[in-house]
Amino acid sequence: MNKRRGTIIQKHKNARFFILCSIVIFTLFFRVSVGSETVNAEVVNRQTAKPSVQIYLPREIKIKGQTLSLGQIAVVRGDKSLVAKANEIVLGRFSMPGQEIVIDRSTILSRLACNGIDASKITLTGAEKIMVKRQQKVIGGCEFVEIARLFLMKNSPVGSIYSVNPMVIPKDLFVSETSKDIKLVPCMIESTSKSCTRIQIAVSADGKQIGTREVTLRLKYNCRRVVTLVELDAGQILSPENIKIEKVASNYPEPLNWSAPYGLVTRCLIDANTVIQPGIISSVKPEVLLERNKTVLIRFEKPGFLVTAVGKTMQKGSIGEYIKVRNVDSQRIILAKVKEDGTVEPVF
């Protein structure tokens, strides 16, 4: 009985061992199969995967030079061969100073496709558009005006200019940020107009002229004018009691020989508070010294030499005036200057 029980127990142990071994073998087989499939899948994926490029677009960027390439304006990463090719793709060119160029995603994808890089290989991140500017220094139009104004004030008579205003603000001038030793040299341009002046400013960098700007300035001058204090009759002499001198701004400069018209005589009736113009005043006429048809001594004198003759005046004359005189002896008519002593001096 005991022997039979032991046999049965032994059979149960053998069965459990067999089942356990079967489970272990199945588990190992399953793991090997799954691992093999995973390895095969990875191999397949590696064989079928396409090289890709990631492009990051900033919102705004400044570049050197005139030509825009993708590598200058964006961060390009990924497959080395594609990255090298993408970086060299040209997207545009600056055609004028101060220009701003906007590049959007569709433009980039289009340029990539034209160069054989399919859009399916591209991943774009960052901004939708890029504002591209050129690295430049700007000399503003107002700066040119100020340089011209200072140059004019230094080269004009002190106090003669009342105000200076630009007729047009010149355009800004863009200079490369790499330029050094920038100089602005103004010079005057000849002009027939007194109410405005033209100044040209030459801009040089590194010893070479890179541009010029012309500034036209409208000028007003410090001037004086004469105004009547009271009503003046014709023939009245001007004096500090009946006129005043005022300072005004004028479009034209004051004559160099200007002086207060004291001692001059009015030629007509002038109301009070009237600006006196040159045409309505004149100098006092000198008294007539010689009347017409009067006998006069013609006198011509030089050092060690004196010639005299008798003449007859053919017109009236005052001191310093030139009149016609007939020589009584020769009957010849000559032009002579009236002297203070009543004689006349012939003019040859």
Q: At 78, phi and psi to the nearest 5?
A: 130, -145
- Candidates 295, 291, 304, 290; CA nearest to 340 is 290
Give pLDDT tens digits for 246-286.
Answer: 999 998 888 888 889 998 899 899 999 999 998 889 887 77
Mean pLDDT, the chain, whole residue set? 83
Give pLDDT tens digits for 187-238.
Answer: 999 888 888 899 999 999 888 898 999 999 999 999 999 999 999 998 898 9
- 8 contacts: CB under 8 Å, gap ≥ 6: none
Mean pLDDT calculated for residue range 127-131: 92
Give pLDDT tens digits for 5-53.
Answer: 555 555 555 666 566 656 655 555 545 454 444 445 444 444 444 558 8
Instruction: Map residue 235 onto helix, strand or coil.
Output: coil
What is the CB-side half-sphere exposure of residue 248 using CA atoms within 13 A? 12
Tokens of 224: 């004086």
Mean pLDDT calculated for residue range 59-63: 87
| % helix, strand, coil for the chain, step of 5 | 25, 40, 35
Evaluate the CA torsion angle 241, 245, 246, 251 in order and state its sign.
Answer: positive
pLDDT score, position 193: 83
pLDDT score, position 224: 93
pLDDT score, position 323: 93
Tokens of 311: 């003449």
